[in-house]
Each structure stands twice: as C-alpha cells, then as structure tokens.
Amino acid sequence: MLEVRNLRKEFGDFVAVDEVTFSLPAQGSLAIVGESGSGKTTTARMIAGLETPSGGHIAVAGAEPAPGRPRSRARRARGRQIQMVFQDPYSSLDRHQRVGDAVAEAVALHQDLPAVRRRARVAELLDLVGLDDRQARSLPKALSGGQRQRVAIARALAAEPRVLILDEAIAALDVSIQAQILALLARLRTETGTALLFITHDLGAVRYVSEEVLVMQAGRVVEHGPVATVLDDPQAPYTRRLIDSIPKPGWKPRRRGDKGAD
Amino acid sequence: MSTPPLLRIDALGIDLPVDGEPRTVVHRVDLGIPEGAAVALVGESGSGKSLTARSVLGLLPRGAHVHGEVLFAGESVPRMRPERLRTFRASEVAMVFQDPRAHINPARGIGDFLIEGLTTARGVPAAEASRKVTAILREVGIPDADRRMRQRPHELSGGLLQRVMIAAALAAEPRLLLADEPTTALDVTTQEEVMAIIGEARRARGLAMLFITHDLELAAAVCDRVPVMYAGTTVEELPADRLRGRASHPYTRALLASRPSVSDAGAELRSIPGRPLSGFEVPDGCAFSDRCPHVRDLCRNERPEPGGFVEDGTAACHFPHPLTSEETGSHA
C-alpha cells in the first residue's frame, strides 16, 4: 500500500532523515518510534506531502506522486490516499465551528454526495469514532482532549484514506484517555481497512496498535522488525536503552552517560 | 509516624472563581512528607494536583479560598504573612516546573539567572555564589559550567535547561523540593537522566520532595509513598511498593490497567470509560462514580471519606478492592 525507499531529507548541512526504507501493507499497521530529533515526524510529513524529500521514493498504491509542489487538485487526490492526525487537535479545529459541521465539511470536500447521504455519512463517521449527537453539536472548547482527537480522526477518515498517519496523536492525552484512543485505532483498522502509520515516542503504546516497528535515532533506522521481537528481544543498543528508560515495576533511574554536549 | 512530618496537608480544600462563581476545585487532600522522604501526587488533568502543589508555596491564584491546613514544619502556610512567604519561598521550598522555558528570562544569561537567586534573596557575595553554582552544575551533569553560564536559555536543549532549573532549586538549599511534572516534556532517556540526578541530589542532602506526575509507574519508582488524586480528592494513599497488586481504589486500579506496558506482552489494555472530571464538575456522591465499574447506589449519593482499608494506606471508597467473593469473580 505504501512503499518508502531510501527516503532522505536534508536541511542545509543537517541530515534529518537518512535512507529510510519500509513498506506498509494494505490494512497493516507500522509504528515509527523515536525521540526528539530522530526524524520520525519529518519522515511522516514527507509521506503526507507536507515536506519535499531530498531524495528517495514514496509510492502509494503503486503510484509515485509527481515531483515538486502539488497543485490543490493533486493535493486533494493525495489527501484521499493519505491523511494525517496531529498531536494537538485543538489547533487544527475551527473554534467557532461545531464539530459535527467540521466533519461534514471534510466529507463535502472529498465526496460529492446529496445532502441526505452526506448527513448519513457524517453520522456514520461520528459513530465510528464514538461521539454522540450532543458532542457533535458542541464547539471544540466544550470537548475534552480525547474527544477533540476523535473529531480529528473522524475528519481524516472522511477522505476514506488508504493510509492514516498518526503523529504523536495520543501524546497530549490523559492516560485513561490514551487507552480509549488506542482501542479506537484497533477497531478502525478492522472496520475500515485503513492502514496505520503510528508515529510515537512511546514504545509501550506500540504493542497495542502495530505489528511492525521501526526504531529511529538521529535520522537513521536502527532497528526494524515485528513489534513482539523488537520489544522482547531488542538487538540495537539504542532500542535497549529506550526500553530500559521506561519506568516499570522494579525500575530505578540511572545516569547512563551524559549527552551533556548538546 | 513518630516524628512530625516536614509537610502535612490536612483536609485541604480550595475554592476558586470559575466563570465568576466560587466553585470547589479541590475537595479534600490529605498527605504527609517526613523529612527527607519523597511523595508522589499522581493524577490526570483537572485532578487538582498542581493546585495542591501551589498551595504548599502559598502561590494560589487571586480569589482562591483555602480550607483545611498546610503545615510546613508545623507552621501554617496559608496563614503566612507576605514577608514570611517570601523568605519561605526563597530558602525553604524550591520548585521545578514542567516547562523550564516559561520560568526563565530568555533575554538573560544562564549564569545571571542562577547567581541572582543567591545574591539577591540570600545575600551571598557574587564570587561565592558563582563558585557554588558552578559546583552544583557539575553535580547535575553539566561539566562545562563556565560555558553554559554564558549561554542564553534558547541555546540549551530542554533536558539541559531542566538541569539548570534543578541546579537553581538546589542552590537555594531548600528542605523541600516541589517538582511539578519536571520530565513530562522530555524524551524518555532524558527523563531517566533527570530523575537520576534529582534522586542523587536528594539523597546527598536529605532533601524531601513532593513530586507531581500523571505517571503512576514513574511515581512508584522514585517515591516512597503515592497519594492518587481524582477530581480534587486524594482517593487513595499508599506506599509506592504496594501500588502494583495492593491498590484498593477502583480508580488507582483502572489507571494502572490503562497504561500501555512495554514489557508485558500478555497484558490487556483496559480503558476507563468517560473522561477525567475537574473538581468543580463532580457529582454529589463519589467523584469517580460515573466511571467506576463497581458503582452502586450508595456511591452516587454519599461521598466516601478516606478510610484505612489497606495495610498502611487509605482509600476513599465505599467498596474498595478486594470486593466480596461474588464480585472478585467478575473483577478478575
């Protein structure tokens, strides 16, 4: 469904993403894990068409997008294939627009439907992400962070994308809400068949959404494999370090060599 | 506890104006920190954990009304006069926040920031302050202190800047460190470094800590006791090593079960329905009743008081775990 080969991004002399290669099958779920500066978000933004790669190839459903800045028509076509959900849904929603209308607007943008069918589609999307009628009539500020993230996911799904990119989409949510969104994502895959590209700093969450994981450090892929293998038997020292720094029963924080030079 | 604790919070309640109306945002917080001990106040957004921390500093927003008591070494913080509050904040408690950039002047050098606290608030001569600050920077893992002190905040990474804030807190030689989500904005490997640095500095000084966090596992790993807050109330308070397996409040148990585990392949992720409430939104009965899997009529009508249900801990719950045999079947 999504093929990424030798993807590269340079900002001046700085190599942000260095030879990243992976493929995401239809209905698959791949996680890219890394800390700040790992290049995970830049990788996602290139795939979504928000950054122009310095090198490499991205193919969605076998077709490579034309090089250069896409025109709005091409952008919408790409939007139908790839949609992205960000960490902070509040900044991407219009604060004067009821969230149900925001979802309807996204449906209208991507599908030319008669009013009755459009309303039905909006209701279906809201139901899919677990928002009720009262919440649909609310303004974004009346909703919690988790509910706003559901709105953002519903809007993204309006395009019926083949690939949904979630860029730290649960990072700002309360722990009890994160679990709800993870459960929602698992359900979305079975119900819509959308493939997921899950960008996160949180290795713990990966087990619950993805089959495959790519660990990135300083622009490079340091480990790539099935989630269970990578988490239970990490090969790269950096993956081990990431796993070891997550608090768990019996864990005591240790200094592991200072990165004091940054 | 035979010796009186350094900090005692007794039935603390806080009313704040919400949309112009006074509303109760913190209903009841009880906790104690012995000299040199670490206590983690755990809660989600709206739980009132940061307001509780601010009440310890006497730093509540204008219009706040405090009930109950906050005692620091036996002295009431809410009753401190402005002048006493200033010396209290300058020399007895120090705070480290989630976002160091919001608490440091971006236009001034790191050195000025660090030294100023000592020279103005404590009257330490500049040369001595500079020596002292350099030593503390080394201690928190900033070896090239001279260069760092000449830099400005934007030249430092988040992890380094948080070390600077910890150094500033330590330089004041406080008896209590208040750390409000100090690692939430940091990478997980940096979080480990920063928590290790705080732990070492605390042990070297016998420094007590009130650690505010949303992360139960982190709380349990770095603190001695863990009070858990929900919607303005400490719903459970227990020793950190009993959190796993011995927690008896349904909220504490649900929070533990909803956290993705990196190590436990078989663990099922259980989400808590609904959303965390703020203190001013809670219904008449138990604050958690709307989301609790074990709710009964009594829970909706009567707010539970903290009680001694677990060994060496308390839970504010009418039906704490373990439940009767009939219900444990459905729970497990």
The predicted structure's pLDDT at residue B310: 58
Q: What is the DSSP string of B46-102?
A: TSSHHHHHHHHHT-PPTT-EEEEEEEETTEESTT--HHHHHHHHHHTEEEE-S-GGG
Between chain A and chain B, the number of residue pairs with CB atoms below 8 A apart is 135
Interface contact B143-A208, CB threshold 8 A: no
- Select from B267, B238, B262, B232 the least CA-distant residue to B252: B238
Q: List the single residue in A174, A183, A208 with the smallest CB-CB distance to B44.
A: A174
**Chain B contact for A218 (CB, 8 A cutoff):** no
pLDDT of A173: 87
- To the nearest whole Å, the CA of A258 is away from the closest chain B CA by 7
Q: What pLDDT does residue A261 have?
A: 39
User: B222 near A253, Cβ under 8 Å?
Assistant: yes
Cβ separation of A247 and B215 shorter than 8 Å? Answer: yes
Report the sign of the C-alpha dihedral through residues B295, B301, B306, B307, in that order: negative
The domain defined by B7-92+175-331 folds into: Rossmann fold (3.40.50)
What pLDDT is stored for residue B332 in this prediction? Answer: 35
Identify the bridge partners of residue A220 per DSSP, sorted by sequence position. A217
Give per-residue pLDDT as tens, B91-146.
Answer: 999 999 988 888 889 999 999 999 988 898 788 899 999 999 999 999 999 989 99
Please determine, for the modelled complex, whether the ipTM score is greater than 0.90: no
Terminal-residue alpha carbon distance, chain A: 38
How far is B234 from B296, CA to CA, in rounded Å? 20
Instruction: Judge: A245–B191 Cβ closer than 8 Å, yes or no.
Output: yes
Q: With a cut of 50, which residues of chain B have pLDDT below it?
A: 1, 323-332
CA dihedral A141, A146, A152, A155 (to 10 degrees): -100
pLDDT of residue B46: 86
Q: Do A248 and B261 touch (CB under 8 A)?
A: yes
φ/ψ of A105, rounded to 5, equals -65, -40
CATH homologous superfamily of A2-93+165-244 equals: P-loop containing nucleotide triphosphate hydrolases (3.40.50.300)
Select from B149, B170, B173, B171 the least CA-distant residue to B160: B149
Q: B218: closest CA among B251, B268, B184?
A: B184
pLDDT, residue B285, reads 92
Burial class (CB in 10 A: 0-12, 13-18, 19+), A203: buried
State percent of chain B over pLDDT 90. Answer: 71
Interface of A with B in 71-110 (CB under 8 A): none
Domain ranges of chain B: 7-92+175-331, 101-173
A36 CB within 8 Å of a chain B CB: yes
Contacts for A77 with CB less than 8 Å, ≥ 6 apart? none
pLDDT per residue, tens digit, chain A (262 aa), is 899 999 999 999 999 999 999 999 999 999 999 999 999 999 999 999 999 999 999 998 877 766 666 667 776 677 778 999 998 877 778 889 999 999 999 999 988 899 999 999 999 999 999 998 889 999 998 888 888 999 999 999 999 999 999 999 998 888 888 888 999 998 898 888 899 999 999 998 999 999 999 999 999 999 999 999 999 999 999 999 999 999 988 899 999 865 443 4
B57 CA: distance to closest CA in chain A (Å)? 26
The verdict on A179 touching B (C-beta cutoff 8 Å) is: yes
Which chain B residue is nearest to residue A229, measuring alpha carbons?
B265
Eight-class DSSP state of B197: H
Contact A21, A61 (CB under 8 A): no
Kindly list the domain boundaries of chain A, sorted by start residue: 2-93+165-244
Taking every pair of C-alpha atoms in chain A, what is the biggest distance, in angstroms?
62
